[in-house]
Structure 1
Amino acid sequence: MNRNIYVIFLSLAFCLIACRQHPHIQSLLQEAETLMGSRPDSSLILLESIPSPEKLSEEDYATWCLLITQARDKNYVEHTSDSVIGVAVRYFEKENNPKYYAKALYYQGRIYQDLGNVEKATSFFINSLDVGKRSSDYLQLFLTSSRLGTLYARFNVQKKAMVAYHDALQYALASQDSSSISYGYSYMGRAYSLLEEWEQSLSFYEKALFISTQIKDLQATELAMNEYVAVCANADRFDKIADYVDKLLEIKQDGGDKAGNLERLYFTIGDLFRHIGRNDESVLYLKKALLSDNLYTLAGSCQSLYFLYEELEQYENAVRYNNKYWEYADSIQKMENNKAIMEIETKYNHEKIQKENLQLRLKNVWIACGGTLGLLAALGFVFTMVKIFRRRLKDKEKFISDLEEQLEELKEESLFILSKMERNHSEVLDLSEQLEKIRQEYNKVKDEKEILKQSDGDFRIKQESLSQQLKEKADKITQIEKAQSMFIYENKKLEKKNLDLKEMIGSLQKNIFVLIEKKNLDKHNVVSFALLIKMRNEKKNLRDEEWKELFIIVNLLHENFVDRLLISFPKLKNEDLKLCCLTKLQFTNEEISSFLCIQEESVIKRKQRFKSKIGDPENWGKGGFDVYIASF
């Protein structure tokens, strides 16, 4: 009795504490929201400093959930779960607050985009737009429309991308925010470039560049300039780039909060100089960019220097920077592979912590509520753990699938390189034949000219003609030798690239093997919890997919038992394998008859007939089948 009173008292105390008002929290949340645009890192620190936010009032907690998700997104923190933003979505939908509800839907879409579920992400962005139209938050509408346009552009859905980017520009104009307007014009330029309408595209990029250079927003300028250069390249309009290089240099000199990464800016300027033929200035800025500690900037700068020196026919420098480019590219590939693996491990650790917290809560419920509730909580924990394992397994399978696709692409690229090398080799041989033929002609003309020298002066005109022929043959020989050198040089580059590809392929294959091994261990945990518990509780026939799952379980538990059986006795049928697996798992004849939907006597007869399929083992006797299978 005293124990029950104590539990009730604790529950009431907890409710009173949870319902306490936190007047200072609202001002802190407002400050975090104010800092979100200019200082998202400070906003995140403020929000994370709030202890036990789940104990706040319902409104404050929902606001905190929305703001913490927004701050993490702006600080490029990878989203791994939608549980936090889900609180905000449900609350602001209930409160009929279109501004915050639209924002919550947008960030739920961002989370699903990070998790790779493009379908759900698109759905939430569309819902966010529908709700947001009831508010006057034009910046949020611009953000959502542009994100939706980028998704459509990524999957080459050109008409929908055009509509979404057009809407984004209209919202940016309504907001009167110069940076957003610049981005909006850049997005329209991107939409027209997808349709290969180059002049329209260039027109919008020029508007974007005019605004971004006026307000000295380097990030908006870099976006517009980089895509502008790509469109100029496709449209063969490099003459249009030169005017903007000096503007970039002016922004760099002015600096300020929007100046961005200096080495990245040097790379952009150097690459632009390369495209417009200002080679000395290009080399100067690209070498400044090589002082960066960013691998992507370093790789891009080396690649630009390689292209530049190759155009200048300074092949020694070209090869040196090409080798550096592939070193940085290899480091980037390894970093991205490690990052992907670390993301899986982070998700796993996060789920592990969630599981441990759940265990602790279940233990407290057991103490407070007694044995019955504790048993129910334990069952809930088992199914939750199965769900966690299945989700982790699904993530790993997707990652392995992505790696395998990447592996196939690398293999195809390697085959293409080998094919191109073969064609180059064939071209070299053809050129060698041409060269030999022209040299013979050259020698013949030369001999003829020598003969004419010894003749009378009446043949002077013919001698001049032969001299001209000699010059043409010599020029042709020089051209062929140069072409041969170029093909040989290209083959050397291709050989280097192919070696790098083979190394990457080997690394990927190793990673895939390790991940598959880990995935199989996880699969073992999942199936052993789900299927075996079901079989112990329900003695009935299994579905086809469940029989396949059972074969996996037996393989994992008993050292590839099913595979070894098929290797030793390839004539075994599927029904024979079912009987062997059930026996290996020590089910009785009565239980086996339930799983196979036959009489118990039929089970015994099947076991006896098994002799003829595997030969008559020594000491078969009564119960010999069970003993044989147990020891196999």
Structure 2
Amino acid sequence: MGRSILFLSILYLLTSCGQNGFIEGELLRANGLMRSQPDSALYIIENINSENISRRSTRARYALLYSQALDKNGIDLISDSLIRPAINYFQNHGRNIDKAKAWYYLARIYDNQGDLDNAIKSYIEAERFMVGTRARRLLAMLYANIGNLYTMQYSFDEALFMYEKALEVYRPLQTVNEAYVLQAKASTQSILGQYDEALETLAQAKKVALVHMDTICLLNIAQSTAATIMEMDDNLLSAKDAKSIIFDACREYNKGVIPGDMLPILSDCYFKLNQLDSAKCHALKALDYSEEDQDHRSLGLYALLARICEAKADYSTANDYLQRRIVLADSLNESDKLNLVQDLEQKYHTKQVEQSYKRLRNQHIAISIFASLIIIILGGVAWIIHRRRKALRDEYLGFADLIKGDHLSLQKKYAELEHLHGREDEKSRRLFAALDNRLQSLQKILELASTYEGNADVFYEKVRKHLKIEGNKSGKALDDLFDITNLYYNDIIFYLQAHYPKLNQDDLALCCMVCLGFSPQQTRLIFNHTNSYSIYTKRSKLRSKLGLTDVDNLEDFFAEHIKKLKYKS
């Protein structure tokens, strides 16, 4: 009986090892195809029976490669259940590149969920593990994705900064991805009204895309170029140029077929050229293309169709399109929209008064177009204000969660510094008193979060007022920070001021926190940086001002210079 059990155990182990060996071979084969043939890599992984995976390392590798294959095939994951085994395993095992990839694809999942705060935190973790690896392509993708997140948050200057970092990494690699990042950069420049710079950036993108003959990218660049030209100069010449760009690109790269994404701008070109039938035809095609999800493009198309029909004196149809637009855009000012509709209805019912109509025709059209623009602008401003307020409210709630998680570690850090350096002189006593006050301030935010749980608007107002009061105190409270850091760390701040004149007061304060050993999250708490992206951006800009590359570590830089200054003294 004992021999039988032993035999079965050995047989099970041999079978298990054989299955793992086969699966690891398949994963290795999928990894080799990941960049050039991602669809084949996904096919291989999908045909692996995950129930036969017994080793944690193999399961982690399977989870990572499966997540990577799905992402590369344009399949958006919105649950972290697949990538989680990789995160858990590589946290304490494996190479840094594996850790970096695991955090990167977790960030992609958070991005798909719309959880921008956790997305940026995961990207930061991914970048930390990329330092010293050869994952340049992944690093460039990371910077580009962070740039996209900034754009979604209307932080356009920060977005341009991250796109440029992505381009610095992409240029030596000579991949078509450089063209896509250049196009994203141009879109952001256009939003900021930097039209000449945007067109120059798009021209660079076209050169890169032509090298790789990426027709999808070339069509997108043509569309962006046409849109930018129309935004620059609203005249007949611009409309002609934009239309030519679209037709030339479609003829050369898409067998003459106009993609659905280009139909709205082409319709607008025809409208500017007073070719109303063509304008309406292309607008209707675009509406059919986008009507399934009733997105914001449909909103603009209804307004465009109303203007086209009004220009053709077809007021009944214009009225119909504006009614549809009202139903779709319920966030706009209802009374203004109804007044506009009533004005069009009155025009329609009095159409028989031909002589009066001829005299007032141009005036009515101008008023209607102006009213439409005012409604769109006011609605857009109201939506942006509402979105910004909601983003700030979520930001403060996230800051309260950060305090809950890191408050204890911050207290321990204070105790450690006090034990090392004490409160022997007046400046030290003032500095530690300021840090004590900061702990009490953070505790106050925790109390507000508990008191107003479930009432986010009231919590937002209370925290906003509290942070304003604390902000007025902080300048005086931390005046001694530079002196204390110089005292403890061999005049490092004096050295930085002498050798890096571009550093401002905020940069030097961040240098002090790094020298004192505070983590980025602890630094956020001390300086009340409610925006999770701000500390990351400040560290990136500081690294640039110090002349450091992406692979250089800030903490190592300061440790090395403090050591050198010690020997000099």
Q: TM-score, normalised on structure 2?
A: 0.51
Aligned runs of 1:144-163 on 2, under 5 Å? 144-163=142-161
What are structure 1's unaligned runs of at least 5 residues?
331-409, 432-473, 495-544, 550-632
Q: Does the C-alpha gap of structure 1 residues 245 and 490 become closer, same or farther in structure 2, counting only changes over 3 Å?
A: closer
Amino acid at match of 2:195: W
Q: Which residue number corresponds to residue 217 of structure 2?
A: 220
Kept in 2: contact 1:106–1:124 (CA 8 A): yes
CA positional deviation for 1:161: 1.5
Q: SS where residue 82 of structure 2 aligns?
A: helix
Q: How far does the alpha carbon of each residue in 1:161-187 deviate from its partner, in whole angstroms, 9 at most, with x for none?
A: 12211111222212201x212112112
- Inter-partner Cα distance in structure 2 for 1:324 and 1:477: 26
Q: SS where residue 199 of structure 1 aligns?
A: helix
CA positional deviation for 1:203: 2.1
Q: How far does the alpha carbon of each residue in 1:282-307 deviate from its partner, in whole angstroms, 9 at most, with x for none?
A: 55655665775873699476665444
Higher relative contact order at CA 8 Å, sep ≥6: structure 1 or structure 2?
2
Aligned runs of 1:395-414 on 2, under 5 Å? 410=330, 412-413=331-332
Kept in 2: contact 1:266–1:286 (CA 8 A): no
- Inter-partner Cα distance in structure 2 for 1:165 and 1:70: 22
Q: SS where residue 44 of structure 1 aligns?
A: helix
Q: How far does the alpha carbon of each residue in 1:501-559 deviate from its partner, in whole angstroms, 9 at most, with x for none?
A: xxxxxxxxxxxxxxxxxxxxxxxxxxxxxxxxxxxxxxxxxxxx99xx9xxxxxxxxxx
Amino acid at match of 1:164: M
Amino acid at match of 2:335: L
CA positional deviation for 1:80: 3.8
Q: Does the C-alpha gap of structure 1 residues 22 and 326 become closer, same or farther in structure 2, counting only changes over 3 Å?
A: farther
What are structure 2's unaligned runs of at least 5 residues?
348-353, 375-448, 454-569
Match of 1:116 among 114, 128, 133: 114
Aligned runs of 1:190-339 on 2, under 5 Å? 190-212=187-209, 215-236=212-233, 239=237, 242-243=240-241, 245-246=243-244, 248-253=246-251, 263-264=259-260, 267=263, 270-271=266-267, 273-274=269-270, 277=273, 279=275, 282=279, 285-286=282-283, 292=289, 295=292, 299=298, 304-315=304-315, 318-319=318-319
Q: Does the C-alpha gap of structure 1 residues 13 and 312 become closer, same or farther in structure 2, counting only changes over 3 Å?
A: farther
Q: Which residue number corresponds to residue 577 of structure 1?
A: none
Kept in 1: contact 2:199–2:228 (CA 8 A): yes
Amino acid at match of 1:277: L
- Inter-partner Cα distance in structure 2 for 1:105 and 1:283: 48
Greater mean deviation of Cα atoms: 32-41 or 107-116? 32-41
Percent identity, please.
21
Q: Which residue number corresponds to residue 574 of structure 1?
A: none
Q: How far does the alpha carbon of each residue in 1:420-449 deviate from its partner, in whole angstroms, 9 at most, with x for none?
A: 5458979999x9xxxxxxxxxxxxxxxxxx
Q: Whose radius of gyration is greater, 1 or 2?
A: 1
Q: SS where residue 84 of structure 1 aligns?
A: coil
Q: SS where residue 146 of structure 2 aligns?
A: helix
Q: Which residue number corresponds to residue 23 of structure 2?
A: 25
- Inter-partner Cα distance in structure 1 for 2:301 and 2:165: 36
Q: SS where residue 20 of structure 1 aligns?
A: helix
- Inter-partner Cα distance in structure 2 for 1:275 and 1:157: 33
- Inter-partner Cα distance in structure 2 for 1:85 and 1:187: 28
Q: Does the C-alpha gap of structure 1 residues 272 and 476 become closer, same or farther in structure 2, counting only changes over 3 Å?
A: closer
Amino acid at match of 2:334: I
Match of 1:127 among 102, 125, 128: 125
CA positional deviation for 1:73: 2.7
Q: Which residue number corresponds to residue 167 of structure 1?
A: 165
- Inter-partner Cα distance in structure 2 for 1:304 and 1:215: 36
- Inter-partner Cα distance in structure 1 for 2:343 and 2:216: 48
Q: Which residue number corresponds to residue 374 of structure 1?
A: none
Aligned runs of 1:510-525 on 2, under 5 Å? none
Kept in 2: contact 1:112–1:121 (CA 8 A): yes
Greater mean deviation of Cα atoms: 131-140 or 224-233? 224-233
CA positional deviation for 1:116: 3.4
Match of 2:180 among 150, 171, 183: 183
- Inter-partner Cα distance in structure 1 for 2:38 and 2:133: 24
CA positional deviation for 1:491: 10
- The alignment's C-alpha RMSD in Å is 5.1
Amino acid at match of 2:266: G
Q: How far does the alpha carbon of each residue in 1:451-502 deviate from its partner, in whole angstroms, 9 at most, with x for none?
A: xxxxxxxxxxxxxxxxxxxxxxx9999544764688799999x9xxxxxxxx
- Inter-partner Cα distance in structure 2 for 1:173 and 1:161: 18
Q: SS where residue 79 of structure 2 aligns?
A: coil
Kept in 2: contact 1:193–1:201 (CA 8 A): yes
Kept in 1: contact 2:226–2:245 (CA 8 A): no
- Inter-partner Cα distance in structure 2 for 1:424 and 1:69: 51
Q: Which residue number corresponds to residue 417 of structure 1?
A: 334
Kept in 2: contact 1:270–1:285 (CA 8 A): yes
- Inter-partner Cα distance in structure 1 for 2:269 and 2:368: 29
Amino acid at match of 1:207: Q
Q: SS where residue 83 of structure 2 aligns?
A: helix
Q: Does the C-alpha gap of structure 1 residues 289 and 118 become closer, same or farther in structure 2, counting only changes over 3 Å?
A: closer
- Inter-partner Cα distance in structure 2 for 1:325 and 1:417: 11
- Inter-partner Cα distance in structure 1 for 2:260 and 2:168: 31
Q: TM-score, normalised on structure 1?
A: 0.47
Q: Which residue number corresponds to residue 353 of structure 1?
A: none
CA positional deviation for 1:211: 3.8
Q: Does the C-alpha gap of structure 1 residues 245 and 476 become closer, same or farther in structure 2, counting only changes over 3 Å?
A: closer
Q: Which residue number corresponds to residue 511 of structure 2?
A: none
Q: Does the C-alpha gap of structure 1 residues 222 and 112 become closer, same or farther in structure 2, counting only changes over 3 Å?
A: same
Kept in 2: contact 1:424–1:491 (CA 8 A): no
Q: How far does the alpha carbon of each residue in 1:90-113 deviate from its partner, in whole angstroms, 9 at most, with x for none?
A: 444545533333222111111122
Q: Does the C-alpha gap of structure 1 residues 489 and 230 become closer, same or farther in structure 2, counting only changes over 3 Å?
A: closer
CA positional deviation for 1:156: 1.8
1:142 matched to 2:59: no
Kept in 2: contact 1:62–1:87 (CA 8 A): yes
Kept in 2: contact 1:310–1:318 (CA 8 A): yes
Amino acid at match of 1:51: N
